[in-house]
Structure 1
């Protein structure tokens, strides 16, 4: 068994980093509809203050250390062990539930690492596309609470994850996959699995699809009623959608769209969810309308500033979940992405993957600590800010306080960059007579502004390893 796991891991990891992030990503909607519910708008404003979150992918795929769920999907970009039939591979993959026993499960470690990094909200994968539930669902025996971990006091994993992050002051988000490839109501074993979509004609089998709608509704009701306060319902699998929402935009993604509607009755789900969780943010990814309260471009940053709510979801390493020998981004890279995203009006949702034993890799903890060294000193330029009209000048990005009384300039240093005593930017001039303060040390700096170009004199003795330098001032405009 161990040998087969190692072989599968090596083969699947080989294609994971090269292609999975390209084929499995969700594109960004081009239309946004502001919510009308005052409680949702209030929650959305609070979420926009947070700016930096953690998304945790953890499931069966952590056992062999491979790509999340996608290796069991039958699409031509998926590569698998050619000596194993597709049926045998799926049997092996789903059989991992018999060996997934995270005896060192430590959500307090995850939450502490996130807080140290300066993260403010969580999105946890309660169920990914493979259908394995990371919560104690009554709808299926295919869950972490039904296998070898069942007798552990923390077998209802989602409960303890949410509790640990709540204690650290995080907003709580529940990731949930709309498709469920393990369910006979979605991938019916009567037929082959042609691709990521359900594999039978819903129009000819309405009973089976209605059973799937009930199954999905009931699992979401469990999450919304049994796990305390939840701020965000983050719904993945945008191909599960009403057929009438499949427009030219969706078709341009190259998605394989069946001839029937994969409608799971989102109005009914939303009504139930918001009755249980008033003001709940719903993120029905790419299905723009009343249930996509913010957009989620994946593994990329929009080219320009956007004046409505959005987040870039990106991985710290090369994969969403834990894979062996992953290569992680440096603190400099993450901080620079965070700065650019916030200046453009978004939030950064950074993906990490715990190991199969339930702990974070040591290197992930170190990376998050490195990021936190910057956010702890410069967070005033990030959190609770909003966009400015002129948001970019060279290596400098701009944000402002919610009341507009303070402006922040954030100079992102390139590798080996040691500013020679001064830095300059165009636009966003400080108000005459205002004090320009360096956030990392509180020092008041000398500055001049001539013909729209502002030059700030840096203090002596600056450390050369800071990813970015942040300045606060009252704006002239």
Structure 2
């Protein structure tokens, strides 16, 4: 379609207005939060923890919904919840030894039970036989060991009357329940999480997708969070493009650009915000006693590398048992991944996606004059052609060594000779140094 010349001044004015608006939006983000976003991208590896009273039933965090357990029956579970083996120091040390830089834990899931000391609801862990706040202990230990802590918070609630689960939405509110009261309740809890746990790095929302046509009042909720803690980061697992007020974009069970799980088909990938992929270590988020489909060390490492090559963090989930113990099958794999990260983490931490888009054989990452070529699958060709290298190549070596990798500069790229690299165990990394 052609544009008439008489409309060009109007279009130019609109473009200038849009540019000014974008600059104003960027300027409105305080430097503390911009710095927190960059630091978040640098971390690259985090631990996700789904833990609650549902762990008692050993059938995942959706057991109340999936088994159609009436709320009146399900709400008896807290009377039996006593995680006597929970040890915050052990959890945080496990994450740190795995090379993880942050933890995101469920403060309240879809079942409505709060895993922290809250005055906004009696349905919380202080009213169990345990009578202690594990999130307070975890926050204290994270600070001691230098790990950032995020709180997962469910927008969806299967049990609260004011939420009106399952009722039609009319004019932005459920026809049953009390939406104004529910919004006020969430604000009260978020205020507690951001003031009673002062070192919290951010909030990880989930559940919006249950009723996308309701007025969630995110402008109010996000403004409250950023007022209480200006450098707190906000993410929302709504499976769409990021909206104003959000600080990172997450992808559930998918790498950015993929849609194998069927959640990310409508999600435009942000070019401005940090990205995060969340995934499970078996097939479940919450503790599931019959789920033995554990990812191997190779799968975990390659998932982490693949995320970094797409400019994303990996948030890898464990579902602790009801007694507070994280299964040894998880802990052993994370320990092995941590050993690998100690040796090769320099090609992951602090990097951004490299010059080459993800390939069938692997990905690239970059940092400070280095492009790291991560070969995750043996390429079908040798030498390997890399197009459009970003500058004058000074040398190519096997990462972490002085062993050179032969190469030939050709028109529009470089040929890397892979002789001597051996089979791919987890990740063969070639370090390309540029002047």
TM range (shorter): 0.7 to 0.9
Higher relative contact order (CA 8 A, sep 6+): 1
Out of 346, 353, 359, which is 2:319 matched to? 353
The DSSP-based 3-state class of the residue aligned with 1:297 is strand
TM-score, normalization by structure 1: 0.75
**Larger displacement relative to structure 2 (120-129 or 441-450):** 441-450
The DSSP-based 3-state class of the residue aligned with 2:118 is coil
- Residue 322 of structure 1 aligns with which residue? 287
CA shift, 1:227, in A, is: 0.9
Contact 2:205 2:235 in 1 (8 A): yes
Task: Give 5+ residue unaligned stretches, structure 1.
Answer: 1-32, 81-85, 188-192, 247-256
Out of 421, 430, 433, which is 1:471 matched to? 430
Task: Give 5+ residue unaligned stretches, structure 2.
Answer: 1-24, 259-268
The DSSP-based 3-state class of the residue aligned with 1:223 is helix
- Residue 7 of structure 1 aligns with which residue? none
- Is the aligned partner of 1:447 residue 2:406? yes
- Residue 357 of structure 2 aligns with which residue? 391
- Is the aligned partner of 1:302 residue 2:279? no
- Residue 254 of structure 1 aligns with which residue? none
Contact 2:355 2:371 in 1 (8 A): no
- Residue 111 of structure 1 aligns with which residue? 92
CA shift, 1:319, in A, is: 0.4
- Is the aligned partner of 1:53 residue 2:53? no
- Is the aligned partner of 1:335 residue 2:301? yes
- Residue 412 of structure 1 aligns with which residue? 376
- The CA distance in 1 between the partners of 2:154 and 2:27, in whole Å, is 22
CA shift, 1:341, in A, is: 1.4
- The CA distance in 2 between the partners of 1:199 and 1:121, in whole Å, is 40
- Is the aligned partner of 1:235 residue 2:235? no
Contact 2:393 2:432 in 1 (8 A): no
* Paired residue total: 394
- The CA distance in 1 between the partners of 2:175 and 2:376, in whole Å, is 57
Contact 1:307 1:345 in 2 (8 A): no
- Residue 329 of structure 2 aligns with which residue? 363
Out of 76, 82, 103, which is 1:101 matched to? 82
Q: 1:8-407 maps to which residues of 2 (within 5 A)?
A: 36-38=28-30, 39-68=32-61, 70-73=62-65, 78=66, 80=67, 86=68, 89-150=70-131, 155-187=132-164, 194=166, 202=173, 208-239=178-209, 257=213, 261-263=214-216, 265-286=217-238, 288-303=242-257, 307-308=271-272, 309-326=274-291, 327-401=293-367, 403=368, 405-407=369-371
The DSSP-based 3-state class of the residue aligned with 1:329 is coil
Contact 1:35 1:293 in 2 (8 A): no
- Is the aligned partner of 1:434 residue 2:426? no
In structure 2, the CA distance between the partners of 1:118 and 1:285, relative to structure 1 (3 Å rule), is same
